[in-house]
Amino acid sequence: MEIQQEFTYFNSSSDTLKVLYFNDWAHAYSDKRTALAKRFAEDFKKSLHLAKEEERGSTQIFGMADFEFRNLSFKRTQQKDLIEISLNSPLPPDSSLKIYFTYTVKLPPNRYTPYGYDSRGGFYLKDWYLTPAVYDGSWQLYSNKNLEDLYTGITNTNITFTYPNRLFLGTNFNEVNITSYPAKQVASLKGENRKSCDIILNSSNKFIKHVTPYLIVVTDIKSPKYDEISQGISINRITRYIHENLGEFPYEQLLVSETDFNKNPLYGLNQLPSFIRPYQEQFQFEMKFLKTAILSYLRETIFLNPRKEQWVSDAIVNYLMINFVDTYYPDQKLLGKLSSIWPISTFNLAQMSFNDQYPFLYMLTARKNLDQRLTTPNDSLIKFNQKIANNYKAGLGLAYLAAYTSKEEINESIKEFYNTYKLQPVTPLGFEKVIRSNTSKDVDWFFDTYVNTDKRIDFKIKKVNKTEDTLEVVIKNKKGTNVPISLFGLRNDTVVSSYWFSNISNLDTVLIPNIQEDRLVLNYDQKIPEFNQRDNWKSLSGFFSSNKKLKLQFLKDAENPYYNQIFYMPVAGFNVYDGISPGLRFSNKTLLERPFIFTAAPSFALKEKALVGNAGLNYRKYLRKSGLYVMNFSLNASSFHFQTNSRYSTITPAVGLGWRPDDLISNERKSLVFRYVNVLRDIDPSLSIETDPDYSVFNLRYNHYNNGIINFFSWFIDAQYSTDFTKLAVNFDYRKLFDNNRQLNLRFFAGKFIRNETNSDFFSFALDRPTDYLFDYNYLGRSEESGITSQQIIIAEGGFKSQLENPFANDWIVTTNASFNLWRWIELYGDVGYVRNRGMDPRFVYDSGIRLNLVTDYFELYFPLHSNNGWEIAQPDYDEKIRFVVTLSPKTLIGLFTRKWF
């Protein structure tokens, strides 16, 4: 795009300005070191890093001049998508300066973000021209991090936009005029008191203009299974709802685009393919249109700092969505039509209302100790919080406040805030001021605690003393977070009384009338995003009725506070000795993380015709957000076969400590694990072994890793003590993706026996295939010396791929493994090292070959070329020398996809 821009900068501050800053977010796609590229790397996306030069976006500035046509000196800041302009003379307060820019913008393809050009000849232009940064006593300079939060000054803008004749235009600005010429079209666009102009160009006219009594809407959001007349009726309903709850939209039209929705979708079931979505077409269409419309409405008219103050907009958007569902779809279930289908209808998840997703998804990160305060800057939020959890917590907060004060007061406050502050700079203090002026209740807790801290809310009913006319209820504040709590009285599952109590900081007794309730429940309507609701109720019908009943349920489910839930689900394991081992796993693990987890997974080994399986108890205690943040206590047991008619069983108590930095986005973690592995082996009499069948090993390991997709670094120190040996080992892993898209992988391992009184190599260090005497690795055939399962390799200890003679070391071992890519996932690898056995000289070992790195650490193939064995590729039975890495664990594979969110 060739751009000539004339800009009049008015200094509305009280300071004299010597420099000006402009946002040039189109340049964020220019190379691999911009803030945008680094943000993608944090999200485990390397598409921009791997892009060719012609697949990048950039801005080339040919010149800048002032009103006297004198050249202006400018430079890019370190962030690269911000421009610093040095003025020829200082700009005093209340004065203006006219600047002329000449530049071109090279658009990126829309594979990185929705912006740029697509494969069908369409374009989405957003943040595509130079806009002024905000100066409010200091410059607010923010780089493009794909967070939809450009912070720019409010401008009056006129655009003359020339584009190809074959394209159709949609925009958030007012279309003053569009003139067609033989080879081009020229659009005159105008925006008064606007931020920046969005332009969408398509090869077909996808945008339809809906003229409603409240608002003119331009949209390309459609639903193929929902007829156009009904869509028009729904849009009319939504615009009326927005108008009634916010107020008059100050511009000529509102752009509500499919692309905007895709950037901020309704996460959850709405993202399923359309043919399996469980909702009615009308509900799907209205929720999709409603969210996109409110977001656009506020983004265009409420000028908060979107990087630091996004929670206000999030609160209003999600609060209005919650109210919309309560008003028009009060019976809508979270699982939609699936809620009435057996056996899905038996799940607690199926009984949850659609609006129950808000506390549920917020609690998903709170239970993982990853929740962040609402005032956390946008670029410091982990992705799940930035996209979902903090949005939902903000909306829940207003619903909580409305339940405590009154819905009418909060509704009026939102409307007053919008009409008072639209089209002018505003801060959250303006929102707070309006709410305080509309209620007589104390709402300090909302702003001081709910918004500005990440303290959890958790109350319980400790006990109830019952008299003829009074109930004496002892309420405990388990987290000490001083916020109001609601108490409901139920009779036959119908609410017959409700109360609010404040200032319960620890333990307090409240008195309420006894009107023959049979159950008291805290937070019954779930308006409060409470950390744990399993202890929120007390039955008044006797001791036995107060005890939670046991509920055995198929598959994992959401928590039901009125039952002790045990879930069972089918599982299947495999190794060459047990064969396929179908079984059932029993656990109390719900969809939300909980402190204490037990599992028991008995299975039947079809090949051995015997019971196998594992079981465990685990208690996790989160301490704080950063530093030493977690303690983990566990007791695990397992029993499988390691050879025909030969069984091993392990019993392992363990304690783990975890550390993480203040920046939760960081992938850096540290841990210290103490465990005592007890192994019991029942061995077939025909087999001879060189070690005692039973042994115990105390293991201490310190891990430090930074799991980045561009730079990966990890190391550990491991110490083991047993009756017959003491050994130490250290391991370093480094992976670097260079700017030229070459990837280097380095690994170093060193191990040394401090004491070794063993008479075999069972506990020795191994070059290529550790014996795994602690039974940590998922070998398909751990005792195999031939066949396909013997070719499985787990990169541990020596990390060699070739099977060399005498691969064990009972004194010390030092190895280095390296590889680099020749083309994409095809790599050349090489391993070198020394091994020493007692009474022998150190021996030099090496190997080399080709690595197919299809999915790093999950699926890899190794083809040996040359080693101490000679030219392996020329030797007989080469297919038996090929090694492979494979991961079959569903939990591990799921982690490959969820890591970018948490």
Mean pLDDT over all residues of the chain? 93
Q: Are 365 and 272 in contact (CB under 8 A)?
A: no
For the chain, the residue count is 902
In a domain, 187, yes or no: no
User: What DSSP line would sit under 802-831, residue for residue?
Assistant: S--SS-EESSEEEEEEEEEEEETTEEEEEE
For helices 310-328 and 390-404, angle between their N-to-C axes, nearest 10 degrees: 60
Q: Are 582 and 572 in contact (CB under 8 A)?
A: yes
∠ CA 419-424-426, nearest 5°, is 85
Q: Are 88 and 74 in contact (CB under 8 A)?
A: no
Where b means 16+ CB within 10 Å and e means fewer, 839-854 reads: eeeeeebbbbbbbebe
Q: Are 101 and 11 in contact (CB under 8 A)?
A: no
Confidence band, pLDDT 50/70/90 cuts, at residue 271:
low
Confidence band, pLDDT 50/70/90 cuts, at residue 684:
confident
Q: Are 284 and 223 in contact (CB under 8 A)?
A: yes
* Residue 227 bridge partners (DSSP): none
State how far the Cα of 797 lies from the Cα of 748, in Å rounded to an integer. Answer: 9
Antiparallel, parallel or unpaired: β 459-466 and 254-256: unpaired
Q: Is the pLDDT of residue 825 over 90?
A: no
Q: Which two tokens stand for residue 601?
A: 């997974």
Confidence band, pLDDT 50/70/90 cuts, at residue 460:
very high
What's the confidence (pLDDT) of residue 71? 94
Residue among 330, 288, 323, 300 nearest 414 (CA): 323
pLDDT of 390-413, one tens digit each? Answer: 999 999 999 999 999 999 999 999
Q: Is the pLDDT of residue 545 over 90?
A: no
If one counts every other C-beta atom within 10 angstroms of the C-beta of residue 96, the result is 11
Q: Are 427 and 305 in contact (CB under 8 A)?
A: yes
| CA–centroid distance for 430 within its chain | 31
In a domain, 168, yes or no: no
Q: Last residue of a domain, which of 301, 318, 341?
A: 301
Q: Last residue of a domain, which of 482, 510, 538?
A: 538
CA distance between the termini of the chain: 38
Q: How far is CA 891 from CA 368, 413, 565, 607, in A?
A: 16, 46, 22, 25
* Residue 464 bridge partners (DSSP): 473
> Greater confidence, 94 or 543?
94
Average pLDDT over residues 161-171: 94
Q: Is the pLDDT of residue 889 over 90?
A: no
Average pLDDT over residues 17-28: 97
Q: Which amino acid is at 60?
A: Q
- Say whether both 489 and 589 belong to one domain: no
What's the confidence (pLDDT) of residue 549? 84
Q: Last residue of a domain, which of 572, 600, 622?
A: 622
- Say whether both 686 and 568 belong to one domain: no
For helices 407-421 and 428-437, angle between their N-to-C axes, nearest 10 degrees: 140
pLDDT of 849-873, one tens digit each? Answer: 999 988 877 889 999 999 999 999 9
- The pTM (predicted TM-score) of the whole model is 0.92
In a domain, 520, yes or no: yes
What's the confidence (pLDDT) of residue 783? 87
SS3 245: helix
Residue among 683, 718, 684, 686 nearest 699 (CA): 718
SS3 31: coil
- Name which of 516-520, 685-689, 695-699 the model is least confident about: 685-689
For helices 390-404 and 407-421, angle between their N-to-C axes, nearest 10 degrees: 120
pLDDT of 435-459, one tens digit each? Answer: 999 999 999 999 999 999 999 999 9
> Greater confidence, 79 or 701?
701
State how far the Cα of 568 lies from the Cα of 893, in Å rounded to an integer. Answer: 21
- Say whether both 751 and 650 belong to one domain: yes
If one counts every other C-beta atom within 10 angstroms of the C-beta of residue 524, the result is 18
State how far the Cα of 651 lies from the Cα of 568, in Å rounded to an integer. Answer: 23
How many domains in the chain? 6
- Say whether both 796 and 743 belong to one domain: yes
Q: How far is CA 636 from CA 61, 565, 592, 772, in A?
A: 63, 21, 22, 17
What's the confidence (pLDDT) of residue 583? 96
Q: What is the CATH number of the domain that holds 464?
A: 2.60.40.10
In a domain, 171, yes or no: no
- Name which of 69-73, 417-421, 670-674 the model is least confident about: 69-73
Radius of gyration from C-alpha coordinates of the chain: 32
What's the confidence (pLDDT) of residue 892? 66
> Kind and range of the H or E element at 867?
strand 859-867
If one counts every other C-beta atom within 10 angstroms of the C-beta of residue 706, the result is 15
90 upstream amide cis, omega within 30 of 0: no
- Say whether both 635 and 739 belong to one domain: yes
What's the confidence (pLDDT) of residue 855? 83
Q: Are 160 and 84 in contact (CB under 8 A)?
A: no
∠ CA 65-70-76, nearest 5°, is 45
pLDDT of 368-396, one tens digit each? Answer: 999 999 999 999 999 999 999 999 999 99
In a domain, 670, yes or no: yes
Q: Is the pLDDT of residue 512 over 60?
A: yes
What's the confidence (pLDDT) of residue 269? 61
- Say whether both 699 and 672 belong to one domain: yes
DSSP E strands in 24-166: the ranges are: 58-66, 73-76, 82-91, 96-106, 116-117, 123-125, 131-132, 134-135, 139-140, 155-164
- Say whether both 751 and 629 belong to one domain: yes
HSE, side-chain direction, 13 A CA sphere, residue 572: 5
- Say whether both 659 and 778 belong to one domain: yes
> Greater confidence, 277 or 247?
247
Domain that holds residue 466: 459-538
Q: How far is CA 412 from CA 11, 214, 293, in A?
A: 35, 19, 20
- Say whether both 485 and 587 belong to one domain: no
State how far the Cα of 852 lies from the Cα of 874, in Å rounded to an integer. Answer: 20
State how far the Cα of 531 lies from the Cα of 359, in Å rounded to an integer. Answer: 9
Residue 394 sits at φ, ψ, to 5 deg, of: -65, -45
Q: Which amino acid is at 688?
A: S
In a domain, 756, yes or no: yes
In a domain, 167, yes or no: no
SS3 140: strand
Antiparallel, parallel or unpaired: β 254-256 and 216-219: parallel
User: What DSSP line would sit under 544-556, residue for residue?
Assistant: HHHSPEEEEEES-
| Share of residues in the chain with pLDDT > 70 (%) | 97
Task: Kindly list the strands in the beta sheet with 507-513, ordered across the sheet, starting from the edge strand earlier in the chain.
Answer: 459-466, 470-477, 507-513
Confidence band, pLDDT 50/70/90 cuts, at residue 897:
low
State how far the Cα of 605 lies from the Cα of 536, in Å rounded to an integer. Answer: 43
- Say whether both 521 and 375 belong to one domain: no
- Say whether both 360 and 309 belong to one domain: yes
Q: Which residues contact 760 (CB under 8 A, 6 or more apart)?
A: 690, 691
Classify residue 71 by its DSSP letter.
B
Q: Are 115 and 196 in contact (CB under 8 A)?
A: no
Q: How far is CA 600 from CA 212, 331, 569, 590, 647, in A?
A: 60, 38, 11, 15, 18
- Say whether both 532 and 676 belong to one domain: no
Q: What is the CATH number of the domain that holds 755?
A: 2.40.160
Give 878-882's long-range contacts (Cβ < 8 A, gap of 24+).
880/786, 880/791, 881/791, 881/802, 881/803, 882/791
In a domain, 193, yes or no: no
